[in-house]
Amino acid sequence: MGNISSLNDANFSESVEQDSRPILVDFWAEWCMPCRALAPVIEELAQEFDGKVRFAKVNVDECKTVPAKFGIRGIPTLILFKDGKKINELVGNQPKDRIKTMLDSAN
């Protein structure tokens, strides 16, 4: 996962909500085929936006508090945070261009 960090209930607040930098959080699960299809796109974008946007993943099977806090009902769900606040969200497997447009809005 290179420059994509793994977040959980214990470190989410410190890593996302208490940081002013933009971060895209991918809520996913191992068994989710659309999540697996989206993973290489997220990895490409993490390289393209290196230094501009941070990337992280939250496994919804391992973390219950954070997904519940943000009302995650379907996966994959991508939430873009800036200044610790949710500024955008996409649900489902999305085309790279659509995610890129969302990321560009954070800068």
Which domains are assigned to the chain? Answer: 4-104 (3.40.30.10)
Among 7, 32, 56, 66, the one annotated catalytic: 32
Q: Which of 13, 15, 10, 41 is nearest to 28 (CA)?
A: 41
Set 16, 35, 42, 66: catalytic member: 35
Respond yes or no: is residue 63 known to be catalytic. Answer: no
pLDDT digits (tens, 9 = 90+) for 30-89: 999 999 999 999 999 999 999 999 999 999 999 999 999 999 999 999 999 999 999 999
pTM: 0.94
